[in-house]
Amino acid sequence: MPRVCFTLQVDPDRLDEYRARHSRVWPEMLTALAESGWHDYSLFLREDGLLVGYLVTDDFAAAQAAMQESDVNARWQAEMAPYFVDLDNGAPDRAMRPLDEVFNLEAQLVAQRDGRNTLTSSRP
């Protein structure tokens, strides 16, 4: 199942509020995320406001589209928008910047075990 990692920027002056809001996410929002295919979803927040999100989903575009159709998501995004900086379109979920995965330990171990590892050792 594909993994997705993305970044956003939280206003550094509102980090404590942002953390507090996420300590008690609305039950209907949690249900909507799960039913839309967002699995193993976590958010990580750095002291300068860099927010990194991680999730596993069969189809990220479909999972996003399902949330876009959710009334609870529209309400949640509207309430969360003031916590972010640099939102060009006004909604945090549409401003996510997905990252390219450049390394995965498990994938490389499987490739090595199966004889598909084409990289050479860095040892002399």
| Catalytic annotation, residues | 22
Spatial distance between the Cα atoms of 46 and 38, rounded to a whole number of angstroms: 22
- CA distances, 121 to each of 2, 23, 86, 112 (Å): 27, 45, 42, 12
**Tokens coding 40:** 């193993």
Alpha helices in the chain (DSSP H): 15-22, 27-35, 60-68, 71-80, 105-113
